[in-house]
Amino acid sequence: MDFLTELRSRLRTALTSLTDSPDSYVEMLKLSQDGKFGDFQANCAMPLAKQTKKAPRDVATALIEKLDVADLCDPPEIAGPGFINLRLRSDRLAAETAKLTKDDKLGVAEVDSPKTYIVDFSSPNVAKPMHVGHLRSTVIGNALCRILRFLGHRVLSDNHVGDWGTQFGMIIYGYKNFRDDAAYQRDPVSELARLYRLVNQLSDYHELVANLPKQREKLPLSEAALVAARQSAAANPADKDALRLVKKSEQELSDLKGAIASAEKKCQSIDENSALKTLADAHPKIGELARRETAKLHAGDVENKRLWDEFVPKCMLALESMYQRFGITFDMALGESWYNPMLAGIVDELKNQGMAVVSEGATCVFVEGNDAPFIVQKADGAFTYATTDLATIRYRVDTLHADACLYVVDSRQSEHFQLLFATAKKIGYDKTEFRHVSFGTVLGEDRRPYKTRSGDTIGLESLLDEAIQNARKIVDENSSHLSEPERANVSILVGMGAIIYVDLHHNRDSDYVFSWEKMLATTGDTATYIQYAYARVCGILRKGDVDAKQLRSAGHSILLDTPAERALALQLNRFSNALGDVAVDYRPNLLTQYLFETANSFASFYNECPVLNAEPDALRASRLLLCDATARILKQGLNLLGIGVADQM
RNA sequence: GCGCCUGUAGCUCAGCUGGAUAGAGCAACGGAUUUCUAAUCCGUCGGUCGGGGGUUCGAAUCCCUCCAGGCGUACCA
C-alpha cells in the first residue's frame, strides 16, 4: 500500500475543519528524515498555527484529534515545536506487505485519470552517427515512457528525427561530388557520414578564412579597450563599474584570441593537408551550394528527392541497431520531413491571424517579454524547425489527442521551447501540457563537453562497446563460476546498465562529469550494485528450490520482528510512491534513488536475517516472500529505467 | 546588454512547493564471514550549503545584491 498517499488523504479530511485550502498542508506530510521520528512526519501544524494565531502544539493536538489513522498507525506523537510523528502499526504494515507480495503490479495502482502523453526523445540527425550527446535524451526519454506507461497512462514515443534540414544538403552535395562508390557499396551509412563531415569541414574552412581578417582587425581594438578600461579603473579604484569593465574587456579579449587561435588551427589542418586543400580550393562556394541542394530538395527536385529516398531508409536502419542495444522501440518516428506538407499552411495561418510579421525579411512571431523573434520562415523562403515544431504540435494535439507533450531535449534549447510553447498557446493550444524536459551536458574530466583527446565527439556505438569491454574485465574477476556465454551476457547487462544508470541517477538539470572509473565502480550507488542485489535474491530462491508462484499463493503471513525486516517492508511499500514522484516533474533520478535504497535495505536484511535456515517455517516463508517481492521490485524498477538483470552474476 | 542555468564534505552528486542535529556514494580509517554470492554489511572521520543583506518562530530552500562559472541570444537544428 502507498502509505504516504493514504495518510495524506486522511490528513486532508482532518484538515477540512481547520482550513479552506488543505492542499499545501497535505504536502507537508512526508517520510521522516530520521527513524527516531517515526515513519512519517506531518509538519503542517506550525504554519497553520501562524495563520490562525494559535500555539503550534495546540493546533497539532487539535489536528491529531481529527486525524483518523488508528487502523494504520500507533497513536501519533507531537514533538518539538509541533511536529506530528506517525509510526505505522506493525500488524498493518505486515498485512499490507503480504498483500503486496502477491500483487502482480507490486502495489502500484493505475492512475485514476490516464492521460495521453507524447514523448519526443532521442531525435538524432539521420545524416550523422549518434554520439554521446544523444545519450541523455535517449535514456531519459525511454525511462519516462516506461514509467508513465506502467502508471497506466497512454504513452506514444516519437523519434522526431532530423531528416530534412541543412545537413541533408551537405550529404547530397558530398554524394554528388566526393563519393567513394566502393565505400558506399560496402557501408553506405559510414560513407554518408564521412561525406557529411567532409562537406561540413570544407564549408567551415571557407567561412573561417573569410572571417579571420575581420577578427584580426578587431584584436587591436579589443586590446586598446582593455588598456583604456584598466587606466580608468586605476584612476578610480573605488568605481565598481570600472572594475567590472576591466573584467569584461579581459574576457572579450581572451574570447577573441581563443576564437582566432581555434580558427587558425582548423584552417591550418586543411592547409597542411594537400588533398583537402585541393578539394577546398576546387569548391570555394561549397557552403552556399550545399544550402542550395537543401532548397532543391525542399522544392521537390526529382534527383535530390530520389537520393533522399535512397539515403534515409539506410540511415534509419543503422539507428535501429543502436536502439536495439538499448532495448528501445518507438511507437512512431515521424521525422521533420513528415511535416513538410503542412509548413506553408502554418505560416499562412499565422500571417492571417496577424500573429506573424515580416521583420528584416524573415517571417517572425514576437512573444511578449522576448526580444528575440521566433522565426517561422527565413528571408530566403525556407522554413525552420520552429515551423516544423508548430506543425508537430498541431498534429499531436489535433490528431493524436495529446494531453501532454514532453520534449526530452538539451537545456540549451530552452529559449526555443519557451517561444514555441508561447506561440502554441497564442494559436489556441492552451489545454495541453507542453513541457521541455531539459537536461544538462555530459562533460569530460576537464569539465568541457565530453570529447576525445583530439577534440572529436565520441560515437555512441564505441562508447557502448567500451563499457561492455570494461564490464567484461570486472565480470571475469568476480564470476569464475559462470560459463563463457553467461559472462558475455552479464557483461552486456553490467556495461549497458552502468551507462544508463549513471545518466539517470543525476538530476537531469545538472551537467555531469563522465567517468569510466565511477561508472563501473563495483561498489556504491551504481547499477551493478542493484543488479548484484537482485542476483543475490535469486540465489536464495534458487538454492532453496522455491517455487515462486506457489510461495505467493500459499497465504503466508509476513512477520516483521527485526528492524531490518521492518525497514525492508516499508521500503517495498514505497515503490508506488517513488514512481508517482518521478511523474510529477519527470525526474527518473527519484527512481534510481529509490532502487538504490531498496537494494541497500535488502543488503542489510540479507546480512542480518538468514532466510533458508530460518525457523520456524512461518518465519522462513515470510522472509522468502520478502525476498521474492524485493527481486520483483528491483527487476521491474530497473526495467522501467531500461536496465536488465541476470539471475546469476 | 538581455535571458536561462549552476555554485552543498577532499572528489562525484542528492536535497531546493521553508521545518527537528544538512544527506548519499567514492576516497581515508576501524570493525564484521564455521550460516543463503564479501560485486556485501556495520561504524568513524569529514560541511560558516559561493559571500553579504532581508522575510520568518524557523532559510541550503523564498526575496534583494555581489562574486565565480556555464549556456543561449535573427534566419543551423
Annotate A556-586 with DSSP letters as a single string: ------SHHHHHHHHHHTTHHHHHHHHHHHT
β-pairing, A29-31 with A40-42? antiparallel
Residue type at A615? E
In this structure, is residue A242 part of a structural domain?
yes
- In the complex, which nucleotide's C1' lies nearest to the CA atom of residue A438? B5
Cα(A97)–Cα(A102) distance, integer angstroms: 9
pLDDT band at A56 (very low <50, low <70, confident <90, very high): confident
User: Three-state SS for A79?
Assistant: strand
- C-alpha cell recorded at residue A446: 576537464
> What pLDDT sits at residue A469?
94
Residues A227 and A344 grouped into a single domain:
no
Q: Is residue A412's beta carbon less than 7 angstroms from any atom in nucleic acid strand B?
A: yes
Omega prior to A616 cis, within 30 of 0: yes
Residues A524 and A571 grouped into a single domain:
yes
Q: Which of A250, A275, A300 is the endpoint of a domain?
A: A300
In angstroms, the CA of A499 and the C1' of B38 are apart by 25
In this structure, is residue A435 part of a structural domain?
yes
Q: Which of A418, A443, A468 is the endpoint of a domain?
A: A443
Q: Look up residue A74 and give its DSSP letter.
A: S
Average confidence (pLDDT) over A66-92: 91
Cα(A263)–Cα(A209) distance, integer angstroms: 8
**CB proximity list for A99: less than 8 A, separation 6 or greater:** A1, A107
Residues A492 and A620 grouped into a single domain:
yes
Q: Is residue A589's beta carbon less than 7 angstroms from any atom in nucleic acid strand B?
A: yes
CATH code: domain of residue A35: 3.30.1360.70
Matching residue, cell 564470476: A479
Neighbours of A609 (CB within 10 A): 18
CATH code: domain of residue A130: 3.40.50.620
In this structure, is residue A203 part of a structural domain?
yes
Residues A135 and A207 grouped into a single domain:
no
In this structure, is residue A451 part of a structural domain?
no
In this structure, is residue A100 part of a structural domain?
no
Query: Is residue A51 a contact partner of residue A72, using CB atoms and an 8 Å limit?
Result: no
Tell me which residue range forms the domain holding A324.
Answer: 116-164+309-443
> What pLDDT sits at residue A48?
86
CATH code: domain of residue A571: 1.10.730.10
Residues A475 and A616 grouped into a single domain:
yes
Cα(A142)–Cα(A157) distance, integer angstroms: 8
**CB proximity list for A71: less than 8 A, separation 6 or greater:** A89, A92
Residues A489 and A566 grouped into a single domain:
yes
User: Based on the number of CB atoms within 10 Å of its own CB, is A348 exposed (0-12), middle (13-18) or buried (19 or more)?
Assistant: exposed
In this structure, is residue A99 part of a structural domain?
no
Query: Which helix (H) or strand (E) segment is A101 a member of?
Result: helix A90-102
CA A32 from chain centre, in angstroms, equals: 28
> What pLDDT sits at residue A19?
80
Q: Is residue A378's beta carbon less than 7 angstroms from any atom in nucleic acid strand B?
A: yes
Residues A184 and A275 grouped into a single domain:
yes
Q: What is the pLDDT of residues A384-440, one digit of tens each?
A: 999 999 999 999 999 999 999 999 999 999 999 999 999 999 999 999 999 999 998
Q: Is residue A34's beta carbon less than 7 angstroms from any atom in nucleic acid strand B?
A: yes
Residues A336 and A381 grouped into a single domain:
yes
Average confidence (pLDDT) over A474-488: 92
> What pLDDT sits at residue A119?
97
> What pLDDT sits at residue A222?
86
Residues A497 and A630 grouped into a single domain:
yes
How many distinct structural domains can be found in chain A? 4
- Of residues A19 and A68, more confidently modeled: A68
Q: For residues A629, A635, A638 and A644, what is the CA-based torsion angle, rounded to 10 degrees?
A: 170
Residues A317 and A296 grouped into a single domain:
no
User: Based on the number of CB atoms within 10 Å of its own CB, is A284 exposed (0-12), middle (13-18) or buried (19 or more)?
Assistant: middle
Q: What is the pLDDT of residues A551-567, one digit of tens each?
A: 999 999 999 999 999 99
> What pLDDT sits at residue A510?
84
Q: Which of A271, A300, A329 is the endpoint of a domain?
A: A300
In angstroms, the CA of A429 and the C1' of B24 are apart by 42
Query: Is residue A531 a contact partner of residue A588, using CB atoms and an 8 Å limit?
Result: no
In this structure, is residue A559 part of a structural domain?
yes
Chain B positions under 7 Å from a protein CB?
A: 1-7, 12-17, 19-21, 23-27, 35-42, 56-58, 66-68, 70-77
- In the complex, which nucleotide's C1' lies nearest to the CA atom of residue A360? B74
Residues A477 and A524 grouped into a single domain:
yes
Partners of residue A73 on adjacent β-strands: A88
What percent of chain A lies above the pLDDT cut of 90?
A: 67
Residue type at A112? D
Cα(A485)–Cα(A476) distance, integer angstroms: 12
Q: Is residue A165's beta carbon less than 7 angstroms from any atom in nucleic acid strand B?
A: yes
In angstroms, the CA of A533 and the C1' of B55 are apart by 48
Range from A98-102, A122-126, A196-200 that averages highest in pLDDT: A98-102
Q: Is residue A196's beta carbon less than 7 angstroms from any atom in nucleic acid strand B?
A: no
Partners of residue A408 on adjacent β-strands: A437
Residues A127 and A203 grouped into a single domain:
no
Least confident of A66-75, A241-250, A385-394, A529-538: A241-250
**CB proximity list for A475: less than 8 A, separation 6 or greater:** A482, A487, A490, A491, A494, A649
Neighbours of A561 (CB within 10 A): 12
- In the complex, which nucleotide's C1' lies nearest to the CA atom of residue A361? B75
In this structure, is residue A93 part of a structural domain?
no
In angstroms, the CA of A606 and the C1' of B64 are apart by 52
